[in-house]
Copies of this chain bind each other. A is one copy, B any other.
Amino acid sequence: MSSFRAQKMAKKKQEILRSAAAVLVDKGYQGTTMEEIAAKLLMTKGSMYYYFKNKDDLLYQCHLMIMEICLDGIESVIDSNRNPIEKLRCAIKEHILLATSEKSMFMALSKPNHNFSEEQLQEVLELRKSYSHYFDRIIHEGIDKQVFGPVDVKMVRLIILGALNWIQEWYDQNGPQSAEEISDAYADYLLKMVVK
C-alpha cells in the first residue's frame, strides 16, 4: 500500500515548510534561500526539488499552511458558545499564542510576494479575507448584543490585527515576558477599545 509512502512524503513536506517558515522569519522572502531551508534539515538544496516544484511553489504552500492553522484556530473560537467579549479575547490570545509558538510561521504572512502567480495571490488574499471576516463577525456580534459600543468594525479589526501581527517584530522567545502574559495584556487593553 502506498498510503504509507504518501504519508511519509507529506510529513517530509511539512518539515520543509516549517523550515522554510523559520528562515522566512528573519530573512524575508527574497532573502530566504533553498540552501538555508535545506541546511536546517540536514539536506541538500537539490532534494527540495523532489518535494516542491520550485522556490515560489514552496513558499506559496508555506503561506497556505500557515493560513490554515490560523483559520482552524479562529473557527473553533467562533463556534464555541462564549459571549462576544470572551470570543474576542480568545481570538486575540489564540492568534498571539500561535504567532509566538509557531512563531516561525507567521512572518511569512506579511506582503504576499510578487513572485506568486495571479492565481496563487488570489488564493492567499482570499484566505486572509476569511480570517479578517471572522474577527469582524465577533465584533459585529458584540455590537448587536450591546456589549460592545457602536464601533467602526473594520477600523477596530485593523487596529487589533495590526497590533497582533506586529508582535512578531519584537517578540523574543527568551524575553522577559511570556507569550501567555503578553496575550493576556493585549486582550485586556484591546478589549477596552470596544467594550461599552
Contact = CB atoms under 8 A, between A and B. Distances in A.
- SS class, residues of chain A in contact with chain B: helix
B166 A26 contact: no
A31 B170 CA distance: 22
Interface stretch (A59-67, A74-82, A150-158): A150-158
A192 B156 CA distance: 12
A106 interface: no
Given A162-B167, A163-B166, A167-B162, A111 B189 contact: no
A155 B182 CA distance: 8
A186 interface: yes
25 contacts: A27-B114, A28-B30, A28-B111, A29-B30, A29-B31, A30-B31, A31-B114, A110-B169, A151-B189, A155-B185, A155-B189, A156-B189, A158-B167, A158-B170, A159-B163, A159-B186, A159-B190, A160-B163, A162-B162, A162-B164, A163-B163, A165-B169, A166-B166, A192-B192, A192-B193
Q: What 4 A-B pairs come out closest when comparing CB atoms?
A: A162-B166, A30-B30, A30-B31, A162-B163
